[in-house]
Structure 1
Amino acid sequence: MSRPTGNTPFPERARTLAPKQYGLHEDPVRPSEPIPVRVWLVTVRGDEFETDAVALAWTRRAVNVEYIDKHGRRDSAWVWAGAVTRRPPASTLPTVSG
């Protein structure tokens, strides 16, 4: 289930894991700086895509990522850890112009 951010229309929003899936009783690790990653996302509509993102937090099972969608809108989602790989540290999330 996805959550409204005010940026991304519902059908285009990435599906996000429920708290009990990513670790309801587990304190997520939150790095001092977001970590550059590459992530596979699935939208509410069912479209799949791989994109650059940053990891904001993680548990043993899942990662909370922030990404820019194909229309330049910033959003975030909790995804399974297996859908995420690290990018080189010099990489950053593209900025949203406007």
Structure 2
Amino acid sequence: MQAEPKIARIWRGRTSRARADEYHAYLYEHGIKPLEEKAMAVQLLREDRDAESHFIAISYWESVEAMSRFAGKDPRRIHHLERDADYLLELPDSVQVLDIVASSGI
């Protein structure tokens, strides 16, 4: 029986609508793919608005310890990708780390 995720790590960022497709490809290649190799599950969400696009990446983990092996000693510390400053309208200063208290389908 596969373990269920107990922790969700949530990152948010936004870019201009004009660069959203380019950033999406970059984020997937350099941010999401490495997470897919370590996390139990990963979701990348996108909302396009008139002038900007919002991205949310959610990774699911069996424990804070497992997440720390990937994200470092402080899993709430943000790890910017090399070109995030080129794309994002502002650099996020943190991620959320939440306990999953109810879940269905993941």
* Max Rg structure: 2
Same-fold call, TM > 0.5?
no
Query: TM-score range, shorter-chain basis?
Result: under 0.3
TM-score after normalising by structure 2:
0.25
TM, length-normalised to structure 1 = 0.26
Q: Which has the higher helix share?
A: 2
